[in-house]
Structure 1
């Protein structure tokens, strides 16, 4: 295998010193244009490429972003985060960045791991997922000085609008609003199956359904259950036994939609059910669902994290409104 050209090879070809080549690579403005052009010609002819590790060492940056790999818990809706991690890794690679995937079983373990990686200069920034109201990770990462962006709003009243806190999220209300508006074609009684109040994401998705119904002066039952197929089935079973009257059902996730469909099938009730996440399960069973577009989330996150030069991750403070991105989901009708 041919030996890769070095700085010394470029210097010899251009007839300049090694330091001059280094200046052209790192501080080209101090080199005379004619000399700079001669060195650049030598670089192009030899096919010289700077050693990435040496460049990272010189800049004291790793061009690496840390992201937690959530523990595998099975279920249906987890595939959205799997798609996101895959997409962010692909898109980071396209931009010359790397993803460092680590595991953590709790928020406390995640923060310890991030602190270790940050202090060891192994990462330049982090992506956090699964945000909750008044998320403790926000204050911790602020104190550490670790630049981060979240997939999901921090949800605290101060955090959502703070330009220091970069976040990208899917507009859940827009998704369930579209789902409810489509379901209203089947009748005026469009019920909602969601999670207990207090979850930022769940409340947002319920809001879209409420807005669609309220715009037409309509009301319908709201059913509450935990995030699991069995719990959703039990909840809908009970509602049917108590005389549930609904022309359609909008659900906060595909897991809830599957549970609802099982209950409806057992009771021989046929009404359209719409999920949220557009998982392969929704495709296989043939029910409509809201597509979150995690690939677009990944692109937006990198756009917020990357500095103007486009080749390293920088701590950034953006103006209000410019530090956040809401991705419009898409209703996939089946």
Structure 2
């Protein structure tokens, strides 16, 4: 294997006599994928030590400079990526976007780029802020978050040819096969499906869902994962009709909504659309004398960890890597996670963090 890699490295050297090494050159020399090289550079902790060493050796032998992948943006005006900073609203689940912004800033710095944060209260105000920053030469590209159907920000950026990528899919008719722009997202349906399968296997067939009101693209996607797992488990054959209740993104409201669920003997577990709703459901379960009722959240926030609740981890650091890869490289040069060849998106598969028992909680 090492001999073959050495031969590939020599071939790469011969092929690039008059040009700088690229990330593809490093990947070929190390015998790995382009994405693995990117992970070694930007998120080495997720790559096996043996693979990291092989890639590092190829980088050294080829004199590859990771920051050259950012040349496309550096040849413009500011080498700066703009991203909207959501207004502080308290709560639990906002920590995910905080982690994403932190990771994006850190990894952009490793590629010799900067990140500029800007505030806006509405999509229309955000468009005005992007326009001002773009016109003033302060940003060259944009990352937008919190996408929704008919998002005017994406349309504005496309019309003006501004390089951008969204954290959140376009929510069109065919976001995977024919997306309107580059996007990276977490596969919410896969996350809730995994959570539901775990609950079915460990708690029983009566797994309820506590979600947001219908019409939320992200919430509807996560609900689909729950339904898909229940259908695969054929729970209706056991004579139980799936129970779905909804709440706004509010702990107190979720506690009130979940109270009638946990007070009866109609459910074995609850899968929730977010950690905020999971915390509310847990408080209701404690008040009803069922503190050990399995409740699974989504976001894996410190609040879920503190209460001992299982939760789906979004991996925002992986989302940041995918966003920068798409923004800097374009669809043709990206090896997508869980994506069809030739598409322009990265779909990050979340992971379920299982906490078997919850510690005693103080009743509200």
- What TM-score range do you get, normalising by the shorter chain? 0.7 to 0.9
CA distance in 1, matches of 2:125, 2:74: 31
Q: Give the structure 2 partner of residue 326 of structure 1.
A: 347
Tell me which of 156, 161, 165 is aligned to 2:172.
Answer: 156
Q: Give the structure 2 partner of residue 173 of structure 1.
A: 189
- Give the aligned length: 271
Alignment of 1:196-207 (within 5 A): 196-207=213-224
Tell me which of 108, 112, 122 is aligned to 1:92.
Answer: 108
Report which of the two structures shows the higher radius of gyration computed on alpha carbons: 1
* Residues 1:282 and 2:304 are matched in the alignment: yes
Q: Give the structure 1 partner of residue 254 of structure 2.
A: 232
- 1:144, CA displacement in angstroms? 2.3
CA distance in 2, matches of 1:77, 1:182: 22
* Residues 1:216 and 2:233 are matched in the alignment: yes
Residues 40-93 of structure 1: CA distance to partner in whole angstroms, max 9, x if unpaired?
A: xxxxxxxxxxxxxxx999944211100011100000000000000000000000
Relative to structure 1, the CA distance from residue 57 to residue 327 in structure 2 (aligned partners, 3 Å threshold; closer, same or farther) is closer
C-alpha contact 1:161 1:320 (8 A) present in aligned 2: no
* Residues 1:245 and 2:261 are matched in the alignment: no
Relative to structure 1, the CA distance from residue 203 to residue 293 in structure 2 (aligned partners, 3 Å threshold; closer, same or farther) is same
Regions of 4+ moved over 4 Å: 55-58, 158-161
Relative to structure 1, the CA distance from residue 61 to residue 225 in structure 2 (aligned partners, 3 Å threshold; closer, same or farther) is same
**SS of alignment partner, residue 239 of structure 1:** helix
- Greater displacement, 179-188 / 139-148: 139-148
Relative to structure 1, the CA distance from residue 118 to residue 320 in structure 2 (aligned partners, 3 Å threshold; closer, same or farther) is farther
Q: Give the structure 1 partner of residue 154 of structure 2.
A: 138
- 1:238, CA displacement in angstroms? 3.5
C-alpha contact 1:71 1:104 (8 A) present in aligned 2: yes
C-alpha contact 1:135 1:156 (8 A) present in aligned 2: no
TM-score, length-normalised on structure 2?
Answer: 0.70
* Residues 1:188 and 2:205 are matched in the alignment: yes
Gaps of 5+ in 1: 1-27, 30-54, 309-318
CA distance in 1, matches of 2:74, 2:274: 47
Q: Give the structure 2 partner of residue 299 of structure 1.
A: 321
- 1:163, CA displacement in angstroms? 4.6
CA distance in 1, matches of 2:73, 2:346: 32
CA distance in 2, matches of 1:163, 1:253: 26
CA distance in 2, matches of 1:109, 1:117: 12
TM-score, length-normalised on structure 1?
Answer: 0.77
Cα RMSD of the aligned pairs, angstroms, is 2.2
**SS of alignment partner, residue 157 of structure 1:** coil
CA distance in 2, matches of 1:207, 1:186: 20
C-alpha contact 1:278 1:332 (8 A) present in aligned 2: yes
Q: Give the structure 2 partner of residue 268 of structure 1.
A: 289
C-alpha contact 2:76 2:140 (8 A) present in aligned 1: no
